[in-house]
Structure 1
Amino acid sequence: MTTITPVTSGDVLPLRQAADRFPTALWNDSADLDELARSIEFGAVGATCNPVIALAAINAHLDVWAPRIAQLAAENPAASESEIGWRVVEELSIEAARLLEPAFRASGGRDGRLSVQTDPRLHRDADALVAQAVRFSGLAENIIVKIPATSVGLRAIEEATYRGVSVNVTVSFTVAQAVAAAAAIERGLDRRAADGLPEREFGSVVTLMGGRLDDWLKAYVQKNRILVDPGVLEWAGVAALKRAHRVFAERGYRSRVLSAAFRNHFQWSELQGGDLVVSPPFDWQLRINENSIPAEDRIDVPVDEDILDTLQARVPEFRRAYEVDGLAPEEFDTFGATVRTLRQFLEADEQLDRIVRDILLPPV
């Protein structure tokens, strides 16, 4: 068990210590400008975002964005609520990307990237995902575009990579999804090379949302009346992340694994030392520092064998998530965590529409 001790003045913050010692890159799981600026002080060299996070950032600064929404509506009288809302997301992203430009330059494009997610309402249309990814990629030099690891998304990931888009794979919870997405990026890069297109550092990453995998497995065991030690389920996402990182290294993929959707500090502390990205929400960064969670090289320390044995024996959904061939691409779309997450992202889209509507047509 980790001993928690308070941070005192003069202590080296764990996040800063890890950033200075290990190749493991810290990204901030928010495009909120205030949070990102402070996270950069902790050593952050990138940022992720999704519809839920973007919605929270806009809600937190409505004093800034409400007048801008009204102005955008006046300038674009035929624009829909959704179009105006996504213009705000673009502008928020461009501002956040500026904060990361120094890290982008220093890393040669490997880091210093701001993630913009494609509209989840396009998740069934590969061509529309690619077109939007190309558009978002042009917003700033250091933009990286999120595309879901669904059966349709895999086609979009390969094509967007071929067209020069730096990709952050999202809606990804399993080793099988991560490996399939990394292979799609490889195909896109190989096609570029075969056609003589310019080679450069894309900085592409493949997210594995460890905490959302944990969430789904907890819901699964409850629904199926499976009793296991609750603590075992806190390790499922970490186990999948460690395995994905190992497979990426063995196969020489040019993309990196990214740990997101934090539910416990293991999703940061157990991954230190590896050439991958960890992207905790800002509040989790504060908690890691406040509790002096040790910054130790643990990426190659395996999850306890008893925990893995229990998960594999008692939780069939974990086996599907953990094995490289645990899911076929056509099963990505119906995996429980995929369905739950896409629905949440779609609901965030609807909430952003409502914010715009309430500004343009205030309730009476």
Structure 2
Amino acid sequence: MAPSSTPLERLAEAGVAVWLDDLSRERLRTGNLAELVERGVVGVTTNPTIFATAISAGDAYDEQLRELAGTSVEDAVFRITTDDVREAADVLRPVYDRTDTQDGRVSIEVDPRLADDPDATIESAKKLWATIDRPNVFIKIPATLKALPAITAVLAEGISVNVTLIFSIERYGAVLDAFQAGLEQAAANGHDLAPIASVASFFVSRVDTAIDPKLDEIGTPQAAALRGTAAIANARLAYGLFLEVTAADRWKALAAAGAHPQRPLWASTGVKDKAYPDTLYVDELVVKDTVNTMPEATLEAVADHGGDASDTVTGTQAEAESVIARLRDLGIDIDEVTRKLEEEGVKKFTDSWEQLLAKVDEGLSGAADQVAADAR
């Protein structure tokens, strides 16, 4: 068989779904998203930071802001973001149909301020799902301890879920349990399990960003040798847990009922340290039944000079465990690091949400002033 012509095609053949970690109305209007789909992108993720950035750039939202003048800022944000996700879902619908409902998905996050309120999270997820009204949407719910019951409850309603902000192996295990419980309840509720999809967004680069400075401070050759290894080791251990869970009888019963596994999704794959290859968190996490969601810069780097997409995860469990053990020997507790990263992640998304609200409020005020001026 002749080799695939592009790195993105090679990743697809290796079982890695390539998603774009970005969305904006400009991408939709110019056809850029459709072009990326033609090149091999099979999904899209969004978050509050992405929407805040999109609305702050250019004038693509000005017309809708004028239409929404007089509405509350909360309602305006809801309308703007759900409209974008609905349109992106339509662009990706052929991929959804072609891949037996597994890809062609677009993710939208519940209000991050609800991370510790499971009842409000459930209601927010149901409202987003009903409003967008597309089968190929994921509702993103953060993997905080208090949100775990919401993940189960939303899946039990037949709603597909992207569980986000996962940093630790322990929490990932709880997410896998919440996922399976949700499917079990969905089946009991009479839902067809086949269309109910889920991914578990395991954040990667932020782990190195947190641990590398600690290694630099230690300053020994042993510490230097571990720079840039923690994030990949952590993710590889997560994949090992995924394999354990999908080999167990509980999952086999769900699979026999038509369920699809909750694929690990590698998030935060843009390289923050310029000393590392810009495709590091893609090339080193190639393995079947995974998703890699990339910011555009990383996507283009992979398309230009990505690796050969050979499996870089299978058989690495012992090595990954050794990395974590060596970090502990140096006094770096990865559990403490990932706990702080989760707290920071929720705060960052909450701050971005507040920025989004402020930007839209500014736009609504400007639109109202313009409408008033035009009426004079």
Q: Distance in 1 between the 2:5 and 2:286 partners?
A: 16
Question: Under a length normalisation based on structure 2, what TM-score does the superposition of the two structures give?
Answer: 0.82
SS in 2 for 1:262: coil
8 Å contact kept, 1:168–1:206: yes
How many residues are matched? Answer: 335
Question: Which residue does 1:203 correspond to in 2?
Answer: 197
Of 346, 350, 354, which aligns to 1:346? 350
Select which of 305, 308, 313 maps to 2:329: 313
Structure 1 position 289, deviation (Å)? 2.2
Deviation at 1:312, TM superposition (A): 3.3
Equivalent residue letter for 1:135: K
**1:257 maps onto 2:264 in alignment:** yes
- Matches of 2:343 and 2:180 in 1, distance apart? 26
Tell me which residue corresponds to 1:104.
Answer: 96
**Deviation (angstroms), 1:213:** 2.1
Q: What SS does the corresponding residue of 2:286 show, helix, strand or coil? A: coil
Which AA in structure 2 matches 1:71? Answer: E
| CA apart distance, 1:309 | 4.3
Between the aligned residues of both structures, percent identity stands at 27
* Unaligned residue ranges in structure 1 (runs of 5+): 1-9, 322-331
Give the secondary structure class of the aligned counterpart of 1:361.
helix
Q: Distance in 2 between matches of 1:231 and 1:86?
A: 47
Label 1:214 to 1:35 Cα distance change in 2 as closer, same or farther (>3 A). farther
Q: Deviations over 1:201-235 (max 9, x none)?
A: 3220001011122223246567xx43464562422
Query: Which AA in structure 1 matches 2:301?
Result: R
In structure 2, C-alpha distance between the alignment counterparts of 1:35 and 1:220, rounded to whole Å: 40
Rounded Cα–Cα distance in structure 1 between residues aligned with 2:186 and 2:96: 22
> Is residue 156 of structure 2 the alignment partner of residue 162 of structure 1?
yes
Structure 2: state its 5+ residue gaps.
252-260, 272-278, 370-376
The Cα shift of 1:293 comes to 2.9
In the TM superposition, what is the alpha-carbon distance from 1:37 to its structure 2 partner?
A: 2.8
Q: Distance in 2 between matches of 1:167 and 1:233?
A: 33
Q: For the structure 1 residues 227 and 319, does the alpha-carbon distance in structure 2 shift closer, same or farther, using more than 3 Å as the test?
A: farther
- Alpha-carbon distance in 1 for matches of 2:295, 2:280: 14
The answer (yes or no) to whether the contact 2:19–2:291 under 8 Å persists in 1 is: yes
Deviates more, 1:196-205 or 1:139-148: 196-205
Deviation at 1:315, TM superposition (A): 4.7
1:327-361 CA distances to partner (integer Å, 9 max, x unpaired)? Answer: xxxxx8xx210121111111111211221222233
Q: 1:12 to 1:194 in 2, by over 3 A?
A: same
- Write the distance in 2 (CA, Å) between the matches of 1:93 and 1:315: 44
Contact 2:122 2:153 in 1 (8 A): yes
Deviations 1:283-305 (A, max 9, x none): 10111222343321222142756
The Cα shift of 1:93 comes to 0.8
Amino acid at match of 1:52: T
Q: Distance in 1 between matches of 2:143 and 2:346?
A: 11
AA in 2 matched with 1:55 = A
Superposition pairs of residues 62-73 of structure 1, within 5 angstroms:
62-73=58-69
Query: C-alpha separation between the residues in 2 aligned to 1:249 and 1:11?
Result: 27
Tell me how far 1:86 sits from its aligned partner.
2.5
Of 42, 47, 50, the residue aligned with 1:45 is 42
Letter in 1 for 2:173: V
When residues 95 and 195 of structure 1 are mapped into structure 2, their CA distance, relative to the original with a 3 A threshold, is closer
CA distance in 2, matches of 1:317, 1:17: 36
- Measure, in 2, the Cα distance between the counterparts of 1:292 and 1:150: 33
Choose from 265, 286, 300 the match for 1:272. Answer: 286
1:143 and 1:231 mapped to 2: Cα distance?
42
Aligned to 1:146: 140
Q: Distance in 1 between matches of 2:156 and 2:214?
A: 38
Letter in 1 for 2:333: E
